[in-house]
Structure 1
């Protein structure tokens, strides 16, 4: 076999492995082939087998190829095979042995021949795998020059692609992008399909590291399809998709991606170790700290055997986080880990130094400062999330040193978080950013409290319900539309299915389609808008004669800011834990009362008032309307059960800023739309009388009340009323829904409204239920409406009595027809319930959200 033909065979091993296998086996079967041709053939078979996951058989062929090459006078032939063997040994987890082969290959190749830069490039690949990025980059600089000198465009492109990857790991994104664009232009004319995809994979990684999560997810989704078309499951793609999902807050989905990795990956030690450490990180994010610790320890043992020190450190970092989560943190381990990354510029180093600083700060603030300072050094580079972490470190550094300007650092961290959130089009991912900002939010209110009530409202608002700061349109994709229709049909069948086995199958099928829709949302880019808090003046002006009570949890103690007639005052309320216990008792009592069982609601109300308001009660003038802005966990409280609030208009809001935004909204029409879903115990008895109250109201009932018809009618309406069964899905709140004639109207559908109704009434059970995220944000049906621009929502917190709900709705709409706001009309309904236990329990289970 001529040398040129041999080189072509090796190129086919990557570009067209099936063809390479056929040609190589034919050469071996040909008894006339010389040792050179045979060495090429076995080398090609080894490469194909390695890429297909059969590493042991690959090593057998490559060792035979080396013995054959050593029988030729061609030192470059020997060096080339040894380079392939070295790379494959590294894949098998034998890093040191692989590097010995690669060192011999580089040393044995002719100094200015074509093989030496190939050997350097392959050594760089193993060095990158082992975490020696600087040494890898030095090899790649030489390799690129060597290929340019020899005119080998294919290998020049490969070296540029790998150099780009090394630069990505060093944070050199502009240089990496230039390398990748040049590599792509060199690959394309040669029809190197796999390698073009690899370039695009690296470009997607740059988007991720620069903070554009949706673009990276979208690119990786397309790449997964392209790799599948070529018959390559591509392990690195699995790892990167999991990493991006984890950063986005979708930890459970990241675990699923890891566990769906190709089976052959488990038999490859390098791949198994990387899968384990990624699953450990994902499990940690999913709240499974014990399992995360087990995975991290197992990964470390594998990395240690593979002599991959940098990866050992990554496993140690996840293990440390898991131990801290379990209350078993170690200052010594945290400090040792941070010290091992003292000169590392990566995001892992920022996190390690932050953890060490926080562990030390508990007992030795002076010792903590240098570690926090090193973590803070990353605050002007990297992705927005990485910068947010570094600014947190800077704020903690200033705090432990007793220096001023902590809030300035917190503000810069929250700005970085807002920059990240602005890239996200998914309401779920926008809310999940609260998980990244919880520590910044804690510092913000701690240091704002001494500065007075205005500062406390301003800084608590910056972290609250930020996901609702602007409308988010749903992705426009016919495939997704079809999946949503399928989900509606499945939800309808689930509600009617009685066979447990068939029911489980339907639930699994629905969950599969829902994951696809959520991934489509995750890949949707944001509009790029930035959060803007309401000014003090705009808040006071909007309140007019209403009184704002903004509750803030400062290190476990509730404080209230009362804004009344332009005057601001802070009141200490009491322990947040007491409020949580009183809330649990109140909700249990209400649920019992709505079922007609005797409950002392008055006593529950007094206890809840003491825990939630304390001395704030004395600052509330009789009869004045109150706007309550509580922490996310207390939005579920039945505030009008409190004696001081029961007989006055009360509205709830996730934040003062959200309330000012809702107050500024104006109706786009005077239309009223009423929708009746199927199978209601009362048959929607309130709807016909309500329709007569509102002149010209549109009514959708029976088969006419489809999701599409309801959305079309509600778009731009002044008032909507949907009488339908509701379903709150805390595990997937984006699919919380109201059940109409053809299935579920979900939170996703709310985002398909061009102009949501100005005001809407949702009498369904738990229609106002919200999933709390990170202590500061919320997801749910009512929250989605507010975020999309609805100015006011009436919804229930718990399961309510159907018959009593009919009367509450009639009284509510009587108030609306009389020109009252939602909070005023709901107050009218509570007063009309009198002392009837079921009627009162039902009335106080409804809340008015927003400002209309």
Structure 2
């Protein structure tokens, strides 16, 4: 081979690599460019410049890409190589599309097609189809791809066949032809695997992830997005659309904070690279900001998207942007939006193929019409919206059932409306059950709220306590009812958790250096992502069993169950006593919310080591006022004095320290996330307390002055086998092994509540944090757990009805009863409280009774003792006798 042939071959090789290995292609193309210029070889120079342009385009250096490709066209024309110039125009059109110059790109392709025939013409038509897709001309785009794919397959042109399959897969997704889309994308991935096409494979995996996201298969979508991202990183390619797709998926499961951060990163990347998809990213940011309650950002992003779509004549997406702006307007001032405007928006969205937003706008029109007394128009809107309830994605069907519920309610068909709500809720709950990650299931509860609140509102209107009880239960969190489904002793998760403990231990001993902090963030992200990718139950159809009043009454005995219900800032309660349910309207939430706001500060002041008499007096005044408010509002109207209490709190009442209420002094009180979960806990514990197998386990964590003394004091009170884990022996592996199947676990340790990610809330052990993720790995739950660790009983609320934390994890694993504090508690005084508690427990008292007696015994010893006593609550089946 001569020098000229070698230069030509190098240029062609660079062009072959440009779309699959851009880094290699740029190195090869620069060498070919230099050699071609030195020899005056215009043909090879044009090919090398095209390779540089394509590689730069893949790496999102669009200014460089356009410059290289324009030069490739010019050099080829000067050389009289019309076909070569046309092929360079095809690549230039791709870069112009990414820059947002869609009309200019279409002109380049039209010019190129006049010169091209055969396979090169097929390449140009693949690009033509992509441009038509960007312009919203989906039918034309699909027709073009159908004609070129056979040409590429016959020619064995695998790289371009993959591009065509990728494009057609996206077209099928937009048209909601999911089976056809999956077939195309799986074929594209197979071709990429067979022919080592790394970058096209990443694009195909990303698109397949979008397909699974649209079908509601969140774990599968996350796996594919992660695979695509890893390939992009290996190839040093930044793909902004992956950020948009990931943000959209995160929003679908209501991980709003992460979704917003990801969408903002996508907008910034699109602005930097001047990409055509910038308005789509702005539109997504508008939606996320609206869900996040940031109306200003939502409106601003929607307005910007509208202007940009108008300037580019992208009518399909313009309809979506106008809908986003309308949603902001409805939240800001509902009366300013007419039903007609919402109706026109629904029509525009339906014509553009936006099924879910069209449904939302149609329901909005119906509700606005009902609000204005336009019943006939409202019925027509809701009838049209409800037609989607039997087919399509889960989100569409659930939304359609809500429209059907509104319609039946407006027609006076109360029982039919409630059946519609029930059907919609089942759809969402089945979707939740398919998710393996507790975090994803919890956040998806936001999708249930609108439907469940319809049921709660209608039940309250009826005044029937059993109906209110049932629908309030239906709205309460589902996460604790679904045990996480993971492979037994997941080795990947175990290794990641061990890595996190090593990192956190190093931070404690050496200080939080930037490298260690970065490592902590990276490991926590790996743990989070690994768990999110796990499938849920997925075994058949999930049916949530809601405990009825009679189910609960059968287990109560002499106790009274109080289920609090909030709706529209008003508080209600259903009491179950002696088999009878009663409904009580307790009034506005105003005083309760105000008292709850000041309560933590007062308890913290009492628990402090340095507190002045004046500070103590002020704190006690705040506590006394709060206790009086709680007693007067929450208990006195219910006439439940003297009896043990089972309390199911409403969303904002989970942190009430019930023991400070005068009417709860010395009274057994247990708290549960739902009446159904309380009943399950009672049944699991055994009504006669006969489950006594397994050892007593006492754990003393590091850095807590009186932990060893507390643990030894507890251990001495129980006969039979006792496992003592102190010092270096109190590590995660030993603690987890000892906890599994034990009859009683007492942990004296520091507790860390993580509001940024409650699943990393932890107990501090000898080798680092023992997190919620660790607790979820227990094979057999312990029977009773005492967490003498600050904040261990306080979870973090997500999505309204869900709370994540250490106690929720144990309840979901099947632990019947727990005792834990909801505030930071003083160390020495906690020891005294725990000694009194275990004395009562060992004597045969129920956990709630033992705790109430212990609290009453020490609360008047001093302010710190009062804070320690007030901080602890009993959770679960706390009224069931505990036999050692």
Q: Tell me how far apart the structure 2 counterparts of residues 758 and 293 of structure 1 sit (CA, whole Å).
A: 52
Matched, 1:850 2:876: yes
- Report what 2:596 is aligned to: 583
> Shift of residue 750 of structure 1?
1.0
Q: Check whether the contact 2:12–2:48 (CA below 8 A) recurs between aligned residues.
A: no
Residue 788 of structure 2 corresponds to 763
Aligned position for 2:637:
615
- Post-superposition offset of 1:827: 2.1
Q: Does residue 1:532 correspond to 2:545, yes or no?
A: yes
What is the DSSP-based 3-state SS (H/G/I as helix, E as strand, rest coil) of the residue aligned with 1:693? coil
Separation of aligned partners in 2, 1:377 and 1:145: 39
Change in 2 beyond 3 A, CA 1:365/1:468:
farther
Do the aligned partners of residues 609 and 19 (structure 1) sit closer, same or farther apart at CA in structure 2, a change above 3 Å counting? closer
The Cα shift of 1:446 comes to: 0.7
Question: How much is the aligned-residue C-alpha RMSD, in angstroms?
Answer: 3.4
1:739-754 matches, cutoff 5 A: 739-754=764-779
Deviates more, 1:828-837 or 1:551-560: 828-837
Partners of 2:630 and 2:642 in 1: CA distance:
20
- The aligned counterpart of 1:341 is 349
Q: CA deviation at 1:656?
A: 0.9
> Aligned partners of 2:678, 2:374: CA distance in 1, in Å?
40
Cα deviation per residue 1:376-425 (whole Å; 9 max; x = unaligned)? Answer: 44433443334333333333344455544222222122112112211222
Measure the CA separation in 1 of the matches of 2:34 and 2:391. Answer: 54
Counterpart of 1:559 in structure 2 is 572
Instruction: Specify whether residues 795 and 527 from structure 1 end up closer, same or farther in structure 2 by C-alpha distance, changes over 3 A only.
Output: same
Alignment partners' CA distance in 1, 2:706 and 2:506? 22
Query: Aligned in 2, Cα 1:750/1:275: closer, same or farther, shift over 3 Å?
Result: same
CA contact (8 A) 1:95 1:307 kept: no
Partner in structure 2 of residue 428 of structure 1:
439
Match of 2:713 in 1: 689
Indicate if the aligned counterparts of 2:206 and 2:225 stay in contact, CA closer than 8 A: yes
Select the residue among 96, 119, 137 that pairs with 1:89: 96
Structure 1 range deviating more: 270-279 or 691-700: 270-279
Partner of 1:467: 479
Contact kept? 1:547, 1:627, Cα under 8 Å: yes
- Preserved CA contact (<8 Å) 2:440 2:532: yes
Pair 1:384 & 2:394 matched: yes
Aligned pair count reads 843
The one of 562, 575, 581 aligned to 1:568: 581
After TM superposition, give the deviation of residue 777 of structure 1 in Å.
Answer: 1.0
Structure 2: how far apart are the matches of 1:314 and 1:570? Answer: 44
Name the residue aligned to 2:523. Answer: 513
Within 1, Cα distance between the matches of 2:403 and 2:601?
41
Which residue of structure 2 lines up, in the alignment, with residue 310 of structure 1? Answer: 316
With structure 1 as the length reference, what TM-score do the two structures score?
Answer: 0.90
- In the other structure, the counterpart of 2:207 is 202
Cα distance in 1 for residues equivalent to 2:700 and 2:553:
39
What does residue range 763-802 of structure 1 map to in structure 2 within 5 Å?
Answer: 763-802=788-827
Where do residues 93-112 of structure 1 align in structure 2 (5 Å cutoff)?
93-105=100-112
TM superposition shift of 1:551: 1.2
1:444–1:378 CA distance, 2 compared to 1 (3 A): same
| SS, match of residue 665 in structure 1 | helix
Deviation at 1:632, TM superposition (A): 2.8
- Residues 94 and 307, structure 1, Cα contact 8 Å, conserved in 2: no
Moved more, 801-810 or 589-598: 589-598
Q: Any idea what SS the aligned residue of 1:673 has?
A: strand
Aligned-partner Cα distance in 2 for 1:166–1:761: 56
Q: Which residue is equivalent to 1:411?
A: 422
- Provide the C-alpha distance between the structure 1 equivalents of 2:585 and 2:23, rounded to a whole number of angstroms: 73
Q: Which is worse superposed, 222-231 or 708-717?
A: 222-231
1:623, CA displacement in angstroms? 3.7
Match in the other structure for 1:454: 466
1:806 corresponds to which of 831, 834, 851: 831
Whether the aligned pair in 2 keeps the contact of 1:602 and 1:643 (CA below 8 Å) is no
Task: Tell me the distance in 1 between the aligned counterparts of 2:421 and 2:728.
Answer: 53
* Aligned partner of residue 680 in structure 1, secondary structure: coil
Partner SS state of residue 106, structure 2 = helix
Q: Which shows bigger deviation, 827-836 or 785-794?
A: 827-836
Match of 1:444 in 2: 455
CA positional deviation for 1:353: 3.7
Residue 174 of structure 1: how far off its partner (Å): 0.7
Match among 405, 425, 429 for residue 395 of structure 1: 405
Note the C-alpha offset of 1:613.
3.4
C-alpha distance in structure 2 between counterparts of 1:459 and 1:253, whole Å: 31
- What residue number does 1:629 align with? 648
Gaps of 5+ in 2: 686-690, 879-884
**SS of residue matched to 2:444:** helix
Compared CA separation, residues 318 and 521, structure 1 to 2 (3 A): farther
CA distance in 2, matches of 1:118, 1:196: 18
Q: Distance in 1 between matches of 2:763 and 2:335?
A: 45
Match of 1:176 among 161, 174, 181: 181
Higher deviation after alignment, 194-203 or 251-260: 251-260
Match of 2:532 among 522, 535, 541: 522
Equivalent in the alignment of 1:247: 252
**2:662 aligned with 1:643, yes or no?**
yes
Q: Which moved more, 1:165-174 or 1:178-187?
A: 178-187
Offset, 1:321: 4.1
Alignment check: 8 A CA contact 2:270 2:278 kept: no
Pairwise CA distance, 1:132: 3.3
Instruction: Name the SS of the counterpart of 2:350 in structure 1.
Output: coil
Aligned to 1:659: 678
Query: Which residue in 1 is equivalent to 2:882?
Result: none
* 1:769 Cα deviation after fit: 0.8
CA deviation string 1:578-617 (max 9, x = no partner): 332233345554444555723255553232122223521x
Q: Distance in 1 between matches of 2:240 and 2:155?
A: 33
Contact 1:331 1:356 in 2 (8 A): no
| Post-superposition CA distance 1:16-69 (Å, at most 9, x none) | 44565535626843756466x665554444322322323234334434444566
* Aligned-partner Cα distance in 2 for 1:149–1:654: 63
Partner of 2:704: 680
Report the counterpart of residue 226 of structure 1 in structure 2: 231
The farther-off stretch of 59-68 and 388-397 is: 59-68
2:84 is aligned with 1:49: no
Residue 103 of structure 1: CA displacement? 4.4
Determine helix, strand or coil for the equivalent of 1:549: strand
Distance 2:443 2:122 in 1: 46
* Partner-residue secondary structure (3-state), 1:849: strand
Cα offset, 1:292, TM superposition: 4.0
Other-structure match for 1:126: 131
Taking structure 1 as reference, are residues 533 and 27 closer, same or farther at Cα in structure 2, changes over 3 Å only?
farther
Distance 2:572 2:345 in 1: 39
Counterparts in 2 of 1:28 and 1:321: CA distance versus 1, 3 Å? farther
